[in-house]
Structure 1
């Protein structure tokens, strides 16, 4: 009987414990935080969270063994839409695992998530998060897994990640992160991936152990395990006043050479130079003898005079008098100057190469050597090449575009650049200089510090930035239209690559400038290089043959971008990825939901120009007509936009065509008309 009584008592105690466990519940504050999160975040799947069932039994919610607190929240792929509401998930103080992957979450990473000191794993991949990775992530000392892949995150990778000493997996691939990779030295880090971003510079030695795939898709990254860094535009640049011997690693390499080895190198170099000089003298003497025997003294004298003739007048100016060698802009003179030969190095074709200035670029006072010594910062990479911000020693700042896959010969390249150098308009950014050699083709532009229209429209949305108001957008629309109309009517040139990243802003918005115009003739024919990314007209099949009507189509997409705030390159507007921007706008307007088209940032700003917005929408829809002949010409687009709101632009098309040079030079920072002494 005593055994039976003991068993009964044990069963009774067990039942009581189970009942107590079943009734255990997280604090009311955690329940209300979860309900607030779900209520404020639209979602496609019904989760069945309600107050009649314990929170620990809700879908996606995991509690600790005692059922007294929430330790995990897993809601992957349930159709969550919009930003993570503040003061919701951040009120779960013991949360260890957060998984909201494969939803449509937007906005930035909330600050209150960075207060959850117990977090061990964060999975936010495959969403639409934007803004920077906050440096406060370094406060999550218990974090073991951080996965933010395939979002729209931008800015640098924070060095504060080094504080996460327990981190075992860091995945940031498929974002828009930029800058250099910090030296992350975490002993237990076993998985690392930053591929398909916009990172630049050399890969830190502490991360060189990871495979090449972990860094692929960053065109400006170099070093192990990727190919070694190029000496052109070195990154990072030495600090001002720092000699090469002061660069880390330079002195250690030099110490490895003994005095005997250095002496041998010097002697060998001297002998090689003497031998080369003797060979040159011998060849020159023999050439003169043969020329005299064949043509007589009179012909020889004529040849000697020709060698001293300056290059013919072509409207272009070389960087300095020491560069009077042929091959740039039609020059035929020759020179034995060692300095000129040094500048010409790298041509690789037997003809000299130099920096050739065009139009008002003659007001710049630097040469190629100055340019190659400049400190350089990657501004971005596009379909035609990579752009650098180059700060010269004298303080001048220019933009250098390093072209890739140029498909034309030197003479054709020279002629085309000379034609582009004649283009001058306040709403166009012309080429100021160029350099052509076998291995390098460079274009030099004025530097506009205000950035691009694309960055202004789409950069770091929701992170406290000041959005573009309606007046600024209308001025940008006018600027782009006027620049395109001038190209078409005054120079009979098609732009070929109209897009928001090629609209560069100045302090006065009505002087924004179209850049990268008419570069298509120097590249090989392709269906994907120029005019792609949602801006290309449907009839375009050859990138080297854009038409005026194709330009107008691209301008129409740009106007829709200004109106909707949506980028044509991310046009999966309903989540299915099937509609481009013009077709999406057409579908919305067809259902008589026109108000749904306009950018929510304009609505938040309280824009009161609904009539103007609708009128500009009609202009944009005319520009993106499927049939090219149904589209207006660029000058007509300018006229229609000016009629919508005359107060948005400070000058009309006729006024900008007549003059305005001084205002243009003030807004652009154009160099003086004559070279600086």
Structure 2
């Protein structure tokens, strides 16, 4: 035994020395990587005097750690330039994920094969150019996610990418890839080829994807697009699309709204009937015939109770477990395509529960970390996320219940049929609207400050996601969820993906939230519902911006402002100023669209109760810039 301890005593210093040497070596490699890049001021806290990793915690910006080792490099939104020195990266044997998204890298893509152990590669929103060699991904058997979107790659899609045995996500949209899409040995769950120069039939291995994943390629055909037809020699087919029987003039807005209203009512009535039935069974033990009431009521929000527990993110006096939540009486608030909402009455008061089926983009560890990050946010104009429940196919998000409902209800309830829920809400006066828009601006500004690495700090800003407390302070909800949503279908659920830059170019940016904010402002001023949110893609014909500019050009300003605003004549200057801000936020050209900081400054200058003089300012936007 004594010999054993002596042996350990001799070996332990050597092991410690080896570990220290390994950490020092990683520091040297990272510093060499930093020095090879231009404009690397964002990596200012990289210092050889501290280790990059402390267990799973990173001491250096942009470094992802696991058990004291460098697991990944996340250089996003840093304005980095220069050459990616893959030879230096090779010296990090534990590197598994590399993200260079939203920088200014240019030139040909580096030789990624030298990083054979990579699991994820993110290069989107840079200026990489040229053709990617056909064997660029050969032998990368661990690679699961490849994101090359919004660069200037040309040539054919490399066939080696189709042979990756573990490929789950592939995003190539917004480039200049040409030729046919090759067949995939392993069909990815998420893939986008939109806005390239691809042609020919879509391979069967990708036919399960949505049509928008192939939009913006004029000569693509086959499922899920139109049937392929060609003429001329078989060696050089000319692909055309057969007429789509559904490709007709869009229905009138009222008809479309009526159809959607009926669908929503069906979705509301059926869950309500189920809840009433379940509630009665719970109140009558004999009717349940021994069936556990919790399991019966659990069908309201989850399939069963064996999948985990509620995770609370806030220190609150109201604590309950998942069984308490599912046992309580519930009322259906709404059932949209992104989430079903419930009012659940607990012992200490009601809570709001959202049931999501579209947040399967990441595993539990990543989801937990993201929820904790959102849970740490604290601002008077954000609805705090109180708790959540994770399951693979469903997620529950719990927050405080707002009795006053949403901004959408107050803006549009009086124009809805009597049978729609939430009707007869009082109209908002000018002072309330200014108060609301200022609160929304402040909440957005806080999100931009606290979530700088997210491309979309909010991502789903619209009037139904602006809740009002008892004194009409606005509270933003559904913020920061874009990274968790299935990327293949995110355009169907989130407001930011209805923007012109995504629909026309397949791109989003932080200014996309500004566009959503602009639509919200126009909705607040005009009282009109933005019909463009009802479509899967941006359509200038249903754009609220187009309607406003048409009214101005036709000198029908009296029809622009919401008649429900009391004392509109006295507030005309303020209305025009706010309208100007909203229109500037909705500019299709991102270079002209203002930054959020500038918009917030202009919003803060609005006066909510000043008696205005008789002289009226004119709209100061250029009609040529706003016309589609």
TM-score (norm 1): 0.45
Which protein has the larger Cα radius of gyration, Structure 1 or Structure 2? 1
